[in-house]
Chains A and B, each alone.
Chain A
Amino acid sequence: MSAHEPGRLEARLRERRDAGRKLLVPYVTGGLGDDWVPALEAIAAAGADAIEIGLPFSDPMMDGPTIQEASVRALAAGATPQTILGELVEADAGGVPLVVMTYYNLVARMGHRRMASLLVESGVSGAILPDLPIDEIDPWKTEADATGIETVLLAAPTTPDARLRAIVGKAEGFLYAVGVMGVTGERSSLAASATAIAARCKAITDLPVLVGIGITTPDQAAEVCQVADGVVIGSVVVRRLLDGEGPDGVAKLVASFREALDSHS
Chain B
Amino acid sequence: MIALGELMREPSPSGRFGEYGGRFVPESLVPACEELDKAFHEAWGDPPFREELDFLLRTYSGRPTPVTECRRLSEMLDIRLLLKREDLNHTGSHKLNNVIGQALLARRMGKSRLVAETGAGQHGVATATAAALFGMECAVYMGAVDVERQALNVFRMKLLGATVHTVESGSRTLKDAINEALREWVGTVETTHYCIGSVMGPHPYPFVVRELQRVVGDEARGQCREILKGDPDVVVACVGGGSNAAGTFAGFVDSGARLIGVEAAGGAAMGHGIPGVVHGMRSKFIQDEAGQILEAHSISAGLDYPGVGPEHAQLGDAGRAEYFEASDDEVLAAFKLLAETEGIIPALEPAHGLAWIVREAGRGIPRGSAVLLTMSGRGDKDVALVMEKMGENS
Contact = CB atoms under 8 A, between A and B. Distances in A.
Contacts of A167: 27
A158 B187 contact: no
Contacts of A154: 26-27
Given A58-B170, A62-B186, A183-B186, A106 B290 contact: yes
Interface in A178-233: 178, 180-183
Nearest to B188: A181
Contacts of A153: 27
A158 B170 contact: no
B179 A105 contact: no
B187 A181 contact: yes
A58 B292 contact: yes
Interface stretch (B17-25, B107-115, B259-267, B352-360): B17-25
Interface residues of B, number: 39
Interface residues on A, range: 35 or more
B293 interface: yes
A181 B179 contact: no
Contacts of A4: none
A183 B183 contact: yes
B62 interface: no
B169 A68 contact: yes
Given A59-B279, A105-B277, A158 B190 contact: yes
B293 A105 contact: yes
B16 to A, nearest CB: 10
A158 B278 CA distance: 22
Given A59-B279, A61-B182, A158-B32, A109 B290 contact: yes
B273 to A, nearest CB: 12
B210 to A, nearest CB: 21
B291 A109 contact: yes
Contact of B24 (A109, A110, A132, A182): A132
B22 A57 contact: no
A249 interface: no
B291 A106 contact: yes
B291 A178 contact: no
Contact of B31 (A72, A82, A160, A178): A160
